[in-house]
Amino acid sequence: MRVERASRTLGARVQGVDLGRPLDADTFDSVRDALNRHSVLVFPEQEVEPPAQVEFSARFGRLKHHVLKENLLPGMPEIYVLTNMTSQNEVAPRPYAGAYWHTDLSYEAEPAFGSVMYAVEVPEVGGDTMFCSMAAAWDALSERMKALLEGLTATHSFEHAYETFVKHIPGTAPIDRRRFDARPPVTHPLVHTHPESGRRCLYVNPGFTERINELPPAEGEAILAFLYEHCTSERFVYRHRWSRHDVVMWDNRATMHKAVPDYDDGDSRYMRRTTIAGSAPRG
C-alpha cells in the first residue's frame, strides 16, 4: 500500500489496494489511519461490485439508509445511487445532485462518519468533486474568532438544502413532504473535536445549516457567510477529477464537499455511494 498526498492540505491517492476483495487487518488499519491523516482518499482503477463496496464500508461501522428511498439500489438499500441517466429505471434520476457545499447527513442526530463513492460512469468533461478541510480552516482562524465561535450551536435541516438549492435545479423531481418529516431539524455544535484525530473542526455547511442558534439572524447569517467563504478558499480545497472506477472515501467529520455541475446534460454520470454512521458531534 502506497499513500501519496494529493494536495498540500487534504487528500491522498492510495495505490496497491484492491477494494474488490476483503482487506487483511493490517491493510484495513492502514487505510483508516490514512483517512484520519488526509480526510479524503482516492483509490484509482478499482473493480468493485455492490456487495464488495458494502462489505468494505461496513468494516468502518453501521451503514446508513438514505431518506430518499427511490434512490436506493434495489435489493441493496445500503447503496445510494446518484445518476442523471433516465434510462436507469432501477432508481430515480437526480441530475446535478450535491451541487452545493454540504456535509453528508449533518441533518441527522448522529450524522455520517464517512462516505464511500464508486464511479461507474463519469462525464467526458467536468463533474469534479471539491472537498475542503474543516480542520485546516479552523486552525487558520484568529484566536478572537475562535473564542467567538466556541460554545455556539447551529440548526441543521434536510429541508433547508431542498428549499435553498435542490428545487431550483432543472429536472429535479419534488421531494415528498414525508421525507422532510422523517428528518426533523437537529442541533450540533458549531465547532467539534474529531473523535479519532483529536483536531478541532468547524461543523457547518451551506446545504444543511439553517442558522446559529445563539445569535440574532442577521449576525448569525453574516458569520456563516464569512465561514463559508473562508472554508472554501483555495488553500483548504482539494478538487478531484473523476475517472471511471475511482473509489473516493471521505471523512464527513472533517470536510465539506461539492459536486461541480459543469457537465453536459447528455453526459452520463452514475455513482454508487455508501454512508457510514457516526456519532453526535461533541463540542
Average pLDDT over residues 156-169: 92
**Whole-structure pTM over 0.85, yes or no?**
yes
How do residues 262-281 score in pLDDT, each as one tens digit?
998 889 999 999 999 999 99
Residue 244 has what pLDDT? 97
Residue 176 has what pLDDT? 87
Residue 87 has what pLDDT? 62
Answer yes or no: 273 catalytic.
Answer: yes
pLDDT category at 95 given cuts 50, 70, 90 is: confident
Q: Which residues contact 179 (CB under 8 A, 6 or more apart)?
A: 67, 68, 158
Residue 89 has what pLDDT? 60
Assign residue 267 a region (left: φ > 0; alpha: ψ between -120 and 50; beta: otherwise): beta
Write down the residue that cell numbers 441543521 correspond to: 156
DSSP labels, 196-250: TT--EEE---TTTEEEETTS-HHHHHHHHHHHHHHHTSGGGEEEE---TT-EEEE
What is the spatial distance between Cα 13 and Cα 186, in angstroms, rounded to a whole number? 34
- Fold of the domain spanning 2-277: Double-stranded beta-helix (3.60.130)
Nearest to 162 by CA among 185, 128, 190: 185
Residue 212 has what pLDDT? 98
Phi and psi for 141 in degrees, rounded to 5?
A: -70, 155
Q: Which amino acid is at 165?
A: F
Residue 171 has what pLDDT? 72
Lowest mean pLDDT among 63-72, 83-92, 234-243: 83-92
Q: Which of the pair, 140 or 267, is modelled with greater confidence?
A: 140
Write the CA distances from 57 to 54, 87, 95, 190, 243, integer angstroms.
Answer: 5, 28, 25, 27, 20
- The active-site residue out of 102, 156, 240, 253 is 102
Maximum separation of any 2 CA atoms in the chain, in Å: 53
Q: Compute the CA torsion angle 220, 261, 3, 279 (nearest 10 deg).
A: 40
- The active-site residue out of 66, 94, 104, 188 is 104
Q: Give just the sign of the alpha carbon dihedral 91, 93, 96, 97.
A: negative
pLDDT category at 85 given cuts 50, 70, 90 is: confident
How do residues 238-253 score in pLDDT, each as one tens digit?
999 999 999 999 999 9
Task: Classify residue 69 by its DSSP letter.
Answer: G
| pLDDT reading at 88 higher than 60 | no
Answer yes or no: 33 catalytic.
Answer: no
Residue 94 has what pLDDT? 82
- N residues, the chain: 283
What is the spatial distance between Cα 30 and Cα 38, in angstroms, rounded to a whole number? 12
Answer yes or no: 245 catalytic.
Answer: no
How do residues 15-40 score in pLDDT, each as one tens digit?
999 999 999 999 999 999 999 999 99
Q: Which three cell numbers stand for residue 182?
A: 422523517
- The active-site residue out of 156, 192, 257, 272 is 257
Answer yes or no: 102 catalytic.
Answer: yes
